[in-house]
Amino acid sequence: MPIERTRATAYIWLMSMTDETPIPKRPSGFWSYANPVKFLAFSARVLPVLWWLSGICLIVGLVWGFFFTPDDFRQGSTVKIIYLHVPSALMAINAWFMMLVASLIWIVRRHHVSALAAKAAAPVGVVMTLMALFTGAVWGQPMWGTWWAWDPRLTSFLILFLFYLGYIALWEAIEDPDTAADLTSVLCLVGSVFAVLSRYAVNFWNQGLHQGASLSLDKEENVADVFYVPLLVCIAGFVLIFIALVLYRTGTEIRLRRTRALLARETRA
């Protein structure tokens, strides 16, 4: 289907969305969720499960990590910060990659829901980034003797945080939603460099204060088992709460877009 045709179809879906709107037979599979009605129906089905699962994982993981794991022989009780720092940093980077994929889908296929999903993920990503920066600083002060260092990984993480703020500001600054989606998608592509650097700066430059990954497929590089399992539960909780928040927020963006479209139609009439 030509891009203009796809774009027009998605727009019509967004404009004429009602409970009675029949869900088109095509496109099928993954791409059918470009239909806002189908997306909202899917979200309504999976969100209760996601809220519960993420809540359970977060409570179990954090309570386990905080109350029932020992202190580290070098880090003392600050090792408990790992249950917040690692999952939030992981999600800060992966949220940007999710936005990148959604932005690419918007650029290539012009699916409005995809652009709105990228927009919806940004505030979640910015909170995760802030959380990772704060917990990292609080851990760094007693362990490194400084709150902050211009280390490659920390610096690229700070730039990623600024990209998040710029991304959100750009969405708010442009009135036409399609133009905003286009420009923010380009910004997202550029910012991906810093998302990659946030993850791999330690490997690229092999310098600075920040240590390598706490989790790896190579068991030798992992944190000790006693910290590893609750950490995995916390990561699962963060991933699930991220998915739940993004689905919910995308639904909100779809409703806001539809409301604006209907109000504009009322004004024209």
Partner 1 sequence: MMPDLGKYAEAVLSAYGVSLLLLVLLIVWTLRQGRRARRALQEVERRRAPDA
Which residues are at the interface with partner 1 (CB under 8 A)?
18, 62, 66-67, 71, 76-78, 80-81, 84-85, 88, 123-124, 127, 130-131, 134-135, 138-139, 141-142, 241, 245, 248-249, 251-252, 255-256, 258-259, 262-263, 266
Q: Which is nearer to partner 1, 188 or 244 (CB)?
A: 244
How many Å apart are CA 93 and CA 105, to the nearest integer? Answer: 19
How many Å apart are CA 98 and CA 61, to the nearest integer? Answer: 24
SS3 label, residue 73: coil
Q: Which is nearer to partner 1, 53 or 127 (CB)?
A: 127
Q: Is 179 exposed, middle or buried (0-12, 13-18, 19+ CB in 10 A)?
A: exposed
Closest CA to 132 of 144, 120, 124: 124
Helix (H) or strand (E) holding 167: helix 152-173
Q: Which is nearer to partner 1, 11 or 31 (CB)?
A: 11
CB of 48 to partner 1, least distance (A): 13
CB of 17 to partner 1, least distance (A): 9
CB of 256 to partner 1, least distance (A): 5
How many Å apart are CA 147 and CA 142, to the nearest integer? Answer: 8
CB of 7 to partner 1, least distance (A): 23
CB of 217 to partner 1, least distance (A): 27
How many Å apart are CA 145 and CA 160, to the nearest integer? Answer: 24
CB of 53 to partner 1, least distance (A): 15
Query: Which amino acid, residue 127?
Result: V
Q: Which is nearer to partner 1, 80 or 111 (CB)?
A: 80
Query: Which amino acid, residue 205?
Result: W
Closest CA to 109 of 184, 5, 22, 191: 5
Residues with Cβ within 8 Å of residue 41, at least 6 apart in sequence: 23
